[in-house]
């Protein structure tokens, strides 16, 4: 009877979508966790970075964790569970730093907290390891200016409008377009719902026929833009500015239907971040910059760069 009750409880928890309790970690082998903001192929490179760091940190247990949904509450619950289980350090891409200051500070009071991808500088995090999202936005503006010398109207698409990485990329692009004939007229969010992401593009094609440029600010947004334009027979008619290195995005860049893409280095975020956390826990703070920002440069990948870039990605992944 006892086992039957346990199985029933397990099934009920799964049906409710609840996180199962995380088994307590062994005290003799500290665990460090990399917590992302939602399910996306973008994080596969970070998984490879964690794997490489693990090979160099045999005295630690390194994990990459996905929340069940891209939500502040669910991400917070995941981190709370990790802390309860005894994790010694967390690196997190905060879903919405502006609304989760208290929650992140709670985690920072209980374990070593670092941020990545989307920073939370108003919290007590130890350091941020990731891109300068403002600079990445400015690079997106450079792509648009090169592709649209006569000007035009751009419409942006992004997952989390409230996340720092989104706000900073948008602002960076607007700053980069200042004084030109190109305008970023609006940005539409989808809460990391890829079906909704594609529908946002489809709706825009109907509601905003004067738009001549579309910008995918998150890794999956450019592929959804590509698919919507392809389905509407408008590939090549609208300038597409991409972010990150989804295979569909890189394929579009190579065939010329995506002007170029701004790529980040999540592999390096995870690899360098895990090593930084491990050193910090041992009392070595020398790798933490004075301004608490370790910026990993973003780069523009254009048509002539795709093959070399893709080959390097495979090498990093160990393929």
Going by their DSSP bridges, the two strands 299-301 and 260-263 should be labelled as antiparallel
In contact, 94 and 37? CB cutoff 8 Å: yes
2 located within any domain: no
Spatial neighbors of 190 by CB under 8 A, at least 6 apart, are 157, 158, 159, 196, 197, 200, 221
Residues 119 and 183 in one domain: no
Residues 65-118 pLDDT 10s:
999 888 999 999 999 999 999 999 999 999 988 889 999 999 999 999 999 998
In a domain, 305, yes or no: no
Asked if 37 and 78 count as a contact pair (C-beta separation under 8 A), the reply is: no
Q: What is the CATH number of the domain that holds 256?
A: 3.40.50.2300
pTM over 0.75: yes
Indicate the pLDDT class of residue 42, thresholds 50, 70 and 90. confident
Q: Which residues contact 85 (CB under 8 A, 6 or more apart)?
A: 21, 22, 23, 24, 25, 31
pLDDT of residue 19: 43
The range of the structural domain enclosing residue 196 comes to: 133-263
Q: Are 110 and 190 members of one domain?
A: no
What's the pLDDT tens digit per position in 182-193? Answer: 999 999 999 999
Domain contains 7: no
- Residues 155 and 93 both lie in one domain: no
Per the domain annotation, does 65 fall within a domain? yes
- One domain, residues 158 and 253: yes
Q: What is the pLDDT of residues 136-194, one digit of tens each?
A: 999 999 999 999 999 999 999 999 998 888 999 999 999 999 999 999 999 999 999 99
Same domain, 101 and 157: no
Instruction: Determine, yes or no, domain membership for 318.
Output: no
């Amino acid at each position: 009877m006892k086992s039957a009750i346990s199985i029933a409880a397990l099934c009920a928890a799964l049906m409710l979508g609840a996180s199962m309790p995380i088994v307590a970690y062994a005290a003799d082998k500290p665990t460090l966790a990399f917590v992302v903001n939602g399910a996306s192929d973008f994080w596969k490179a970070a998984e490879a970075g964690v794997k490489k760091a693990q090979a160099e940190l045999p005295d630690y247990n390194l994990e990459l964790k996905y929340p069940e949904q891209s939500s502040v509450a669910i991400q917070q619950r995941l981190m709370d569970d990790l802390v309860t289980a005894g994790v010694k350090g967390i690196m997190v891409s905060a879903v919405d730093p502006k609304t989760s200051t208290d929650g992140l500070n709670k985690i920072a009071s209980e374990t070593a907290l670092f941020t990545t991808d989307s920073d939370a500088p108003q919290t007590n995090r130890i350091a941020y390891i990731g891109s300068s999202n403002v600079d990445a936005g400015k690079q997106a503006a450079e792509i648009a200016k090169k592709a649209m010398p006569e000007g035009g109207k751009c419409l942006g698409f992004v997952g989390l409008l409230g996340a720092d990485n989104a706000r900073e990329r948008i602002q960076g692009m607007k700053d980069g377009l200042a004084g030109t004939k190109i305008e970023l007229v609006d940005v539409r969010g989808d809460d990391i719902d890829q079906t909704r992401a594609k529908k946002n593009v489809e709706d825009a094609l109907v509601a905003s026929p004067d738009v001549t440029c579309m910008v995918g600010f998150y890794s999956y947004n450019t592929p959804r833009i590509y698919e919507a334009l392809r389905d509407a027979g408008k590939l090549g008619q609208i300038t597409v500015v991409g972010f990150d290195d989804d295979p569909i995005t890189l394929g579009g860049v190579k065939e010329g239907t995506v002007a170029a893409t701004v790529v980040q280095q999540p592999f390096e975020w995870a690899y360098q971040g895990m090593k930084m956390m491990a050193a910090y826990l041992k009392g070595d703070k020398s790798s933490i910059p004075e301004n608490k920002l370790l910026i990993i440069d973003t780069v523009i990948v254009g048509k002539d760069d795709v093959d070399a870039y893709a080959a390097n990605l495979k090498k990093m992944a160990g393929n």
